[in-house]
Structure 1
């Protein structure tokens, strides 16, 4: 099978068909080899191209054939176990020499742990405690309702999904003592290195002794050792892991947080009858002031899961928590888990929309440029069709944060048709925000929209009841002027700015004067003299000094432009007099023929 992976996908497909296998995936690069039991590969699902992981159990080597029951148990148990925190089974292929198990795309926890070694101590601790929570929940599920023992709980049986969440796998020995096919009690010795996490009772009497104890006992002991490995990766196993299994002294705490250390000692109790279970560990941690309940990442997950059914006050409290902890969120968790949930929440609108949108934009910064369009921009664009005013207002207020990532076609065809309803909204603040947004959107509008549809809408806003909207509309027209078509400038600018000069609102009149001043290059010289100055001269004697002062400033600028042009003109323009004799003028003046 290694030979197949050295070939191109077409060659692999051909050889697979000849061998009788029809793989539902294409194998990619090799990620890891775990305990010589299996190889982990990145893969691609054939039917839709989505990323997957592939666990390959290869028995072509005679030394591995006796481990086949472990692989078959992993396949059987993973296929029937459904839990959000358990590795998601997708498909499997079994032949005489190989078993392939296809799951959701994951990475081994062992490959992720080193990247957190250099992080801030508190951030790393929060991440590890969150991970222990994600492991304790499915472990409790397997022990309690499933009445089973996992049997191989360690860093090699935990994986990390693209969302950054820990997933429990490693089901090679998962067993229910009441089943005849339970491999934990008969074949555990086939699992390489398993004795390193075996509890004292197993080291004393073998794996079959577990049938006499609580199904959670062995997993609880392994959970204690896992806790030590996660927080003290450079330290050897605690002394309690070896006979005579003394209780962990205070000096063995290392970097284990205080609240966890007390339970850590109880998890490693050498007596299975008095050893606490993963369920007890989880219950203590999730009390009101427990180490799980107070963990920011656990809070975020819980808040996301319950957001849709939360009250507005609960939503506000959760958003505050998320805002405070967003900087410490694992990037993949923020981009792939939190972000989609927030975008989904935005679709329902409501009072929380204004607070959610900034988080969406900030977390979206961690999304790759290739994925941004679909992951962030696409959902944001769809929100422009929302009738919820809170959502629309938030979109407009934060437009500067994402406008550069939107293309011209998207703005013209998907945003503007919905945006233009804001010009006629009955709520003034929406109309004003819509006007202000055009300054950012205009460069991405088509010429037809800019020179026709938009100007018709702005013309109506120049007579809006709200003076601030009339003022901002005039300012906007002044900024848009250089981008308008030649004929549009001739028809629109002077009437629009002149209308502002007749406004009853002082600042609207000032805006009209400033617009004339700013767009001086948009007018022909003749227009300045025959249209602009005559249409603005009356405000030179405006009742408000603020307007009069600006009028004279603008007039001076216009006059200087005209003076400069006049100096470049010929002294006279009398073609009739060219070529006449010296006496001709006298004759003409005297009226003689």
Structure 2
């Protein structure tokens, strides 16, 4: 923007101009951190006109762009280009307006019905200038018409505007050099003053707009063209009707335009008229092209006044906010617009509505949120919709907060809980469903073998794992119960327990090592070694037990224990050998007394000087430091040591064992 500061903060102007004329260059721009009010795309889009100083008889007081700026600032109308800001930067004058683009760039994509509504807008703006402003435009042509972001035609080119009293042949002759030659009234050359220049130019505009269109594409188009040639372009200026009379023609009053006018002037209608209108509007609009209806009525059907009307909220809005799906179920009502049309024309308006701080409008959007949430992209939901919803949960209205939380739950499957909820999350709940199949154990830590638990089909209740042990009443269990009584539940620090735990298992050799990180209670703290028969065992009624070996036991003993068990199949001696091996393992366990530090020292310090580990733990009583005492004359009557006066009769060996002054 140069060294001079712009009046619009955060304004970014495109380098390539959209339009260049004799007076200015038209650029598209956007405002960062704006309120998303100026453009349909909610990105702060605006238009900027740059004009240089131009010499001429009409521009002695101000440049053409400055005059255009002053006129749109003075004459405000919904169908006149809206003024935003203006500033001077060096020798260049800047004018910022709402986002608009020249009509010539989009006229080829306009349908005949859109052109009809566009002409109706321009005609209403001209009637306002003639009757309320008492001024003449003097420059009606396609170059003076712009299209806003929502598809509305806006009147511009007000640099030649003047009062009717100033509209002299001399004034018109001075401005003729830059005006549209085809729209120049032949009567301007006469010395008689005329105030019907705009009527002639409007007839030429109608001819240019509908050039190449068939007369049956718009109701009463053929009759209106004839009316323009015979009445508006009449050689006799006095025979030309006023522009307000032109608005009474049937061309501007057929059904499609009547719906448009009713929605445009909704505040002027009574409740009875609104009720009757909104009850039948959808049936009426079904007769017209869907995309044309979406372009022209999308903004009006989702306007503030429509959303607040009770009849519209019941009979219109539920169908407008729901994209049409051909696969309806259970007698659902289908939406009015197809998914493609909804995304292109309705979705940008819904994004704008979420920034409106009106509780009734927000509640209406939240009530139908599940119907249209799927049409938004991931970025649109995270950047536009989600921030507005998070703002809604801070409101004091409990009903609005409740509806907002429901809509946030709709976003969790789409955006994820991390985006919607935010913050640090952790797994607080586990799956408590019982497991029907055997688990595949993971690799054991510290380099131990990777043991896999074999899958066994469940045939009885004993095959399932449960919280309590189930024992079969047979010979093997009775022997174990006599020799090895079960211990009580180990303490939390019992991961080093030396007790032997008897657990019933299937007659299959199996080794299972459980990780210390996955234990659910104290019973699972020990590493369990299950011994199962790898083949089809022939032992019936004999229950093999898995012995839990302590972590401090010798690995060699464990291996011998496994080999001993592998050769003892099918007899009771196998159980007795298993019992002896368990007792032998228990005998070899290091006694707790051997862990005493003193015993360790005695064994390690045989034949050498003993080292006292507790030497540094002997309490040291420091002697009291005595500060130098002044002479009695200086001290006066004060005594040291908290006025303590020793008793001369007391024995010096009593008390602490040393004198106070040592």
- 1:301-380 equivalences under 5 Å are 302-303=262-263, 305-306=265-266, 310=271, 311-322=274-285, 324-325=287-288, 327-329=290-292, 333=296, 337-338=299-300, 340-341=302-303, 345-346=306-307, 352-353=313-314, 355-362=316-323, 364-366=342-344, 374-375=351-352
Check conservation: 2:129, 2:135, Cα contact below 8 A.
yes
User: 1:192 aligned to 2:152?
Assistant: no
Check conservation: 2:29, 2:45, Cα contact below 8 A.
yes
- Aligned twin of 1:164: 151
User: Aligned partners of 1:439 and 1:71: how far apart in 2?
Assistant: 52
- Aligned twin of 1:294: 254
Q: Equivalent residue of 1:13, what SS?
A: coil
Q: CA deviation at 1:395?
A: 4.8
Check conservation: 1:86, 1:169, Cα contact below 8 A.
yes
Select the residue among 395, 419, 431 that pairs with 1:487.
431
Distance 1:368 1:183, change over 3 A: farther
- 1:379-418 equivalences under 5 Å are 386=363, 394-395=368-369
- Aligned twin of 1:443: 413
User: 1:50 aligned to 2:44?
Assistant: yes
Select the residue among 194, 197, 209 that pairs with 1:218.
197
Question: How does the TM-score come out when normalised to structure 1?
Answer: 0.55
Distance 1:372 1:489, change over 3 A: farther
Report the structure, 1 or 2, having the larger helix content. 1
- Aligned twin of 1:80: 74
User: 1:282 aligned to 2:250?
Assistant: no
Distance 1:30 1:583, change over 3 A: closer
Distance 1:262 1:368, change over 3 A: closer
User: 1:142 aligned to 2:103?
Assistant: no
Check conservation: 1:109, 1:159, Cα contact below 8 A.
yes
Deviates more, 1:51-60 or 1:255-264: 255-264
Check conservation: 1:131, 1:165, Cα contact below 8 A.
yes
User: Aligned partners of 1:489 and 1:412: how far apart in 2?
Assistant: 36
Q: CA deviation at 1:345?
A: 3.8
Q: CA deviation at 1:300?
A: 3.2
User: Aligned partners of 1:570 and 1:420: how far apart in 2?
Assistant: 65
Q: CA deviation at 1:74?
A: 2.5
Q: Which of 1 and 2 has greater Rg?
A: 2
Distance 1:37 1:331, change over 3 A: farther
- Aligned twin of 2:2: 13
Q: Which has the higher contact order (CA 8 A, sep 6+)?
A: 1
Distance 1:43 1:64, change over 3 A: farther
User: 1:259 aligned to 2:223?
Assistant: yes
Question: How does the TM-score come out when normalised to structure 2?
Answer: 0.50
Q: CA deviation at 1:331?
A: 6.0
- Aligned twin of 2:660: none
User: Aligned partners of 1:184 and 1:134: how far apart in 2?
Assistant: 27
User: Aligned partners of 1:230 and 1:154: how far apart in 2?
Assistant: 10
Deviations, residues 232-266 of structure 1 (Å, cap 9, x unaligned): 1699xxxxxxxxxxxxxx9xx99992231232121
Distance 1:201 1:60, change over 3 A: closer
Deviations, residues 312-366 of structure 1 (Å, cap 9, x unaligned): 332222343345546132765566x24641x764466667346313313446411
Deviates more, 1:135-144 or 1:399-408: 399-408
User: Aligned partners of 1:323 and 1:234: how far apart in 2?
Assistant: 23
User: Aligned partners of 1:421 and 1:359: how far apart in 2?
Assistant: 24
User: Aligned partners of 1:344 and 1:158: how far apart in 2?
Assistant: 27
Q: CA deviation at 1:159?
A: 0.6
List alignment gaps of at least 5 residues for structure 1: 1-11, 117-123, 236-249, 285-289, 423-433, 449-482, 492-524, 532-567, 586-593
- Aligned twin of 2:543: 575
List alignment gaps of at least 5 residues for structure 2: 35-42, 324-340, 419-426, 436-459, 467-533, 546-564, 575-662
Select the residue among 108, 112, 116 that pairs with 1:125.
112
Q: CA deviation at 1:85?
A: 0.7
Deviations, residues 541-589 of structure 1 (Å, cap 9, x unaligned): xxxxxxxxxxxxxxxxxxxxxxxxxxx997778434983665889xxxx
User: Aligned partners of 1:69 and 1:583: how far apart in 2?
Assistant: 117
User: 1:38 aligned to 2:24?
Assistant: yes
- Aligned twin of 1:112: 106
Q: Give the CA RMSD over aligned residues.
A: 5.4
User: Aligned partners of 1:399 and 1:226: how far apart in 2?
Assistant: 43
User: Aligned partners of 1:345 and 1:150: how far apart in 2?
Assistant: 33
Q: Equivalent residue of 1:366, what SS?
A: helix
Select the residue among 196, 203, 207 that pairs with 1:228.
207
Distance 1:184 1:348, change over 3 A: same
User: Aligned partners of 2:462 and 2:54: how far apart in 1?
Assistant: 90
Q: CA deviation at 1:199?
A: 1.4
Q: CA deviation at 1:174?
A: 0.9
Distance 1:420 1:227, change over 3 A: closer
Distance 1:318 1:183, change over 3 A: farther
User: Aligned partners of 2:275 and 2:297: how far apart in 1?
Assistant: 22
